[in-house]
Amino acid sequence: MNVPGLSTVYEAFAATGTRYPDRPVLNVLSGTAKVYGIALGEMSYRTALQQIDALAEDLARAGYGAGMRVALLLENRPSFFLYWLAVNRIGGSVVPINPDLRAAELEYLIGHSEPALIVAIESRHAELGSAAKAAGVRAAVVGPSQEFPEPRRDAVVMRPNAGEAREAAILYTSGTTGKPKGCVLPNTYFLLAGRWYAGVGGLANLTEEGERMITPLPVFHMNAMAYSFMAMVTVGGCLTVLDRFHPRQWWSDVAASSATCLHYLGVMPSMLMGFEPSPGDRAHSVRFGFGAGVDPKLQVAFEQRFGFPLVEAWAMTETGAGAVIAASTTERLVAQASIGMPAKDVDCLIVDDSGTPSDVGELLVRRAGGDPRYGFFSEYYKDAAATAEAWQGGWFHTGDIVRRGRDGNMFFVDRKKNVIRRSGENIAAVEVESILMRHPDIEAAGIAPVPDPVRGDEVFACLKVRGASPQKAEAITRWCLEQMAYYKAPGFIAFVDKLPLTATQKIQRAALKDLAVQLLEDPDTVATGYLKKRQAS
């Protein structure tokens, strides 16, 4: 539903709510309700809009308004969307917080984004309060049902843009420079994501007849927040968000949600194909799956077994729908790691290391037409230099290596950036290294990816320490789990006398990666992956 004149996420939601007030917009299944201790069942657009308006009025009454940010740590609860839309209505922006983040990471994120308020589940209040205090940010931490205290007087930090250009959220994404970058996302970003998905057609065709989508992906990432939610809002559909991916009950969840489409990451098809075939494999109403990273060797078998196509796509937090590529046509190439052909509204350029156009190299993208940044992120917050570097020459430099076939299809090859990709999460090696160097016994740290048959990559740590021992490796990993998200902690630790360094004492990344792969076979390398478990909130 494209309504002319809409300039904010709230306005788009309100327009759909007016048109389809009695339709469900959010759905909670029994397993998610039990995990979170929240109500089971559906919420209509009318009810959601009433709650959003009430929250917005309470926020405004307390003194919150345009230019202020509200950080949200609400996991995958429906309340995340209600708070986001309420903050959007009063002219503010939200900062979604990954619940897996721990002390050092929370301190950085809060200090960098400077929220006026933090809304979080009660079990994390003390930790968030400590992180805010350590960061020097005077932001109250409240629960979803608590009253809002007055904001601090200096809590206006957003750029004074209006309408679609106004900031709607800051999402933090790992980069190669160590600290996560804050991607400032305008209202345009989310509005275009919904419009793009609603109009992509082909195998991923959506109608306004009552679509139902299910996703286990985190709402603090762009996939669920921008594509899943905004697609359903745009077509008047219903979104079921699970607390996480539960492989053994996945198909029963899909059936219970009455989903007509679903979202996935590459690890999911691999895990689902590991189960014995059963009658439940096709006991669903799904027409297509939308995601990225399916193992080409499994794609044909998966689609035949479960009865629907997997639409592979490419996008980044920075690009949003401004430059998305999707293999959504019936002529798509199956089982070849193809991400499809760019649409006419996306300009693509592939360059080699010298910057010369090539059929294999780094993918550069921009929006076709007069506004090359339309639909993209606005900037890296507080990092004008990184923003300028990313947009060097008028193209956004993705850091992804792709290959273009003779017919124009694109094929994902590898990541140029030094980012470890574990189960869909981007992990900056430098960020993990910088936290490890806080440990009193670590003298040098190098992080590299090693292949993992299920997760894609695993984190391998080469450490120079005092008093090396298997017990030391376990103690370091447990310490890491208190300082960073569990998935960033080392899954393997090897103690070394020195790291491969350049003449200027920088880590030789290629040599470190080769060393890590070699040390996987070393009996002295300590496997610590068994300690890496998601912590309860």
- pLDDT tens-digit series, residues 104-125: 999 999 999 999 999 999 999 9
Work out the average pLDDT over 115-143.
97
Calculate the alpha carbon distances from 381 to 71, 112, 290 in Å. Answer: 15, 8, 30
pLDDT tens, 472-499? Answer: 999 999 999 999 999 999 999 999 999 9
Window from 47-56, 74-83, 155-164, 238-247 with minimum mean pLDDT: 155-164
Structure confidence at residue 417 (pLDDT):
67
Identify the pLDDT of residue 416: 75
Distance of CA 177 to CAs 321, 343, 366, Å? 25, 32, 23
Note the pTM of the prediction, 2 decimals.
Answer: 0.88
For the chain, give the mean pLDDT.
94
Beta strand 325-326 pairing with 310-314: antiparallel
- What's residue 426's pLDDT? 81
Half-sphere exposure of 91 (CA within 13 A, CB side): 14
- Domains of the chain listed by start with CATH number: 9-400 (3.40.50.12780), 419-531 (3.30.300.30)
What average pLDDT score do residues 206-232 get? Answer: 97
Closest CA to 23 of 293, 240, 186, 237: 237
Q: How high is the pLDDT of residue 174?
A: 66
Mean pLDDT of 242-271: 95
pLDDT tens figures, 429-445? 888 988 898 899 999 99
Is the pLDDT reported for residue 420 higher than 50? yes
pLDDT at 176: 47
- The pLDDT > 90 percentage for the chain reads 85
Tell me: the pLDDT tens digits for 444-483?
999 999 999 989 899 999 999 999 999 999 999 999 999 9
Q: List, as one string, the DSSP characters of 394-419.
A: GSEEEEEEEEE-TTS-EEEEEE-SSE
Across the range 14-39, mean pLDDT stands at 98
Tell me the C-alpha to C-alpha distance, in Å, between residue 191 and each of 13, 47, 187, 320: 10, 22, 6, 10
Residue 27 near residue 240, CB atoms below 8 Å: yes
Distance (Å, rounded) from C-alpha 226 to C-alpha 322? Answer: 12
Q: At residue 505, does pLDDT exceed 80? A: no
Q: Are strands 93-96 and 69-73 parallel, antiparallel or unpaired?
A: parallel
Task: Give the model's pLDDT for residue 2.
Answer: 58
